[in-house]
Amino acid sequence: MTKVSFHELATLDVAAREALFKRSEADLTSFIDRVKPIIEAVKSEGDAALVRFARDLDKADLDASRLKASEAEFGAAFKAVAPEVIEAIRFGIDNIRVFHEEQKPEPMWLKETRPGGFAGDRFTPIKSVALYIPRGKGAFPSVTMMTAVPAVVAGVPNLSIVTPPTPDGGVDAATLVAARLAGVETVYKVGGAQAVAAVTFGTETVKPALKIVGPGSPWVVAAKRLLSGIIDAGLPAGPSESLIFADDTVHGGLAALDLLIEAEHGPDSSAYLVTHSRRVAEEALAALPQHWAKMTEQRVAFSQTVLGGPYGGIVLTPSVEESIRFVNDYAPEHLEILSTDPFSHLGQITDASEILMGPYTPCSIANFGLGPNAVLPTSRWARTWGPLSVNDFMKRSSVGYVTAGAYPDYARHARTLAQYEGFSSHYNAVSDMRDPYLKG
């Protein structure tokens, strides 16, 4: 039987406990060094570098004339994708759109904070955003849905998708279908660090963007980090991670089934079952071989690497309270609360980007179109970041307005603080020096 990492929390010292919180992209030093020349090549050579990297890194047959997906490729995609897959994509897009339309803020609000003084916010879409859709360990039309729909709902006028090319120089067909159904027309066949560089600087084919969003490999994360001073790199979304928090009201086999969802993404994923119930832990261990027997060989290899390595496995805690403490300390990307009464635990969860409750809400349903966004912060960034949302595609401007009648009172207080802080121009702008201009 494949060895699964098993940790009894009560026996671990502080260092060993802290080690459980590490993710695969925690140290990007080696990737940073390898990404730098890729970025410089794209910046200086443009399309020629993208074609070379497509050949050398993606093993794709591609030339500069085919870097952008054609209308013919979109048409062929709809013929190639099975009707039931298109129906599932439509189903997911509909749900995601409804959720994000509810999330969208009003274009502007103003509140009279005191008579004659008004303050508020105005929301406008970012002018250009690139959506990164990974492909290295599979095809992800679901990521296209999750990134494109809120961007379209927000009203971003210039949207593009960057995604690694297939070996024949094409694009995953379902990704093209999802892009078109969501409302994105521009798809570039560029992946990895070179994609981040391309949308940062622009090339002969790829138009530059002000922001890039979407999950990616450590290569992508490293490139975003290096270029974050030039392009808005969005929320920190790296390799997939999940915690399955199970109390003693569920069967461990169910916990094991859901533990494999994010673990199968790739060997750099993170996935733990956290429970205070030894019965649940033992049932999960016993069930894993049965579940692996019904998975494809590649996904078995990925998940076994994760669950048998330093970034996954089973954590047995002394109590429900300690399980919840572990969850909050870990701050997971995906969290499932497996319990017949999940709402009893919800109020104690403070740090998790996505919280899925009960035995009928596995990550699979959320990933493919429950409505809330499945592009989420990783590496404990759930402590300060939330899921991708309409707000990530909009910018907020503060709005203020003071009437003539209210001005004297505001000016008096402003003069007091300007004088205290030593700003003479601040003071002068609200002193009697202003009066002749106002009267004139």
pLDDT(137) > 70: no
pLDDT(136) > 80: no
Q: For residues 131 and 214, is the Cβ–Cβ distance under 8 A?
A: yes
Residue position matching structure tokens 């054609």: 70
383-416 per-position pLDDT tens digit: 999 999 999 999 999 999 999 999 999 999 999 9
Reduced to 3 states (helix: H, G, I; strand: E, B; else coil), residue 193 is helix
Q: For residues 380 and 156, is the Cβ–Cβ distance under 8 A?
A: no
pLDDT(139) > 60: yes
* Residue 133 tokens, joined: 């859709």
- Per-residue HEC secondary structure of 14-36 comes to HHHHHHCCCCCCCCCHHHHHHHH
- Tell me the C-alpha to C-alpha distance, in Å, between residue 196 and each of 35, 201, 285, 344, 418: 10, 9, 40, 43, 44
The arrangement of strands across the sheet holding 108-114 comes to 108-114, 117-125, 394-402
pLDDT(259) > 70: yes
- Tell me the C-alpha to C-alpha distance, in Å, between residue 186 and each of 162, 270, 378: 9, 33, 28
* Residue 211 tokens, joined: 């922001």
Structural domain spans, the chain:
6-24+239-372, 29-237, 404-439
Q: What percent of the chain has pLDDT over 70?
A: 99
Nearest to 206 by CA among 181, 187, 183: 187
Q: For residues 263 and 269, is the Cβ–Cβ distance under 8 A?
A: yes
DSSP H/E element including 243: strand 241-246
| pTM summary value | 0.91
The arrangement of strands across the sheet holding 270-275 comes to 6-8, 312-316, 270-275, 241-246, 334-338, 354-357
- Find the DSSP H helices in 189-277: 192-201, 218-227, 252-263
* Residue 10 tokens, joined: 């009560």
CATH class of 6-24+239-372: alpha beta
Instruction: Give mean pLDDT, residues 329-348.
Output: 97
pLDDT(26) > 80: no
298-334 per-position pLDDT tens digit: 999 999 999 999 999 999 999 999 999 999 999 999 9
Would you state the CATH architecture of domain 29-237? 3-Layer(aba) Sandwich (3.40)
Give me the pLDDT at residue 440, please: 74
By residue count, the chain amounts to: 440
Give me the pLDDT at residue 390, please: 97
Average pLDDT, the chain: 95
Could you list the active site residues?
Answer: 333-334
Instruction: Give mean pLDDT, residues 210-224.
Output: 92
